Structure 1
Amino acid sequence: MRRVSTLFLKIVVILIGIPILALCIFLVPELGNLAAKLLPKFAFIKYLVFIVFYASAIPFYFALYQAFNLLRFIDKNKAFSELSVMALKKIKYCAIAISCLHVLVLPLFYLFADKDDAPGVIFVGLVVPFASMVIAVFAAVLQKLLKEAIDIKSENDLTV
């Protein structure tokens, strides 16, 4: 039963990466062109958008790889190990990096909202940083709980 659920989660992790790849291929160039049209005085803004969004894809895929590793550790009955704690720590740092990178783009969402008179666009721009920070906090809590469980397990192994 456990192998089936981890296999399902592994497939889900892979499937999560596909839409982000499609967004990087199709949506990011459109966002860069839109930013260049909104701010014609700043010609470099298009490349700034490219850099921020493509740079945030790197920690995203690294975090997916770490989640895949975590599922492999569960399959090998090594869920309560330092390797799992390190994987959660790396996921936490990746989520923080994604959040920080997307906060850098928030002024563009403000300019777009100001130009089109649509203030709700600013909240759309806050979705990714907020979700990333929630994931970072969740990973930090899991990391701490797993570390405490490992410590308790090692104390019990020493007393027996």
Structure 2
Amino acid sequence: GSNLMFFFFSDWEELLEVPNLDKLVPNLLSLVAQLAAAEANQYRLFRFEKSGGIKACFVFLRMDAVLSELPAETLCLTQVVQSILLWSDHAFLSQSPLAILPGGRAVLRPEIGNLIRASYDPTLPELAEDKSHALRVSSRLSQMSVQ
């Protein structure tokens, strides 16, 4: 994708005040109500090319106590990682995509970086729904670890 937009706010209702956001986000009013009711602190909305590739991602972050505790660079790097591919909702529940270096600096874990690189291999299709695609990505990952 070539378009990534971040929205930071303290209450989901604030999104309703953003001029013309309803033209970018379908069903904005009901989405805001749903996210507020769930007490969600983040939401990502994707738009896709006809070929299936990510065209745009809109990242919405309600800066609650949890997100406000994170350093800005950690929060943004985490969101970018979660926006560059379509991950499962459970992909990072047990382990963050980031590693913390001595001194506290957050960096992308090497295996996550390799997976992103392998997934964006120009010889692979932008979208694949067949199970063999996972084998093709896995093959590229194993080639990266050999080099």
TM-score (norm 1): 0.23
Bigger strand share = 2
Please say which structure displays the higher CA radius of gyration.
Answer: 1
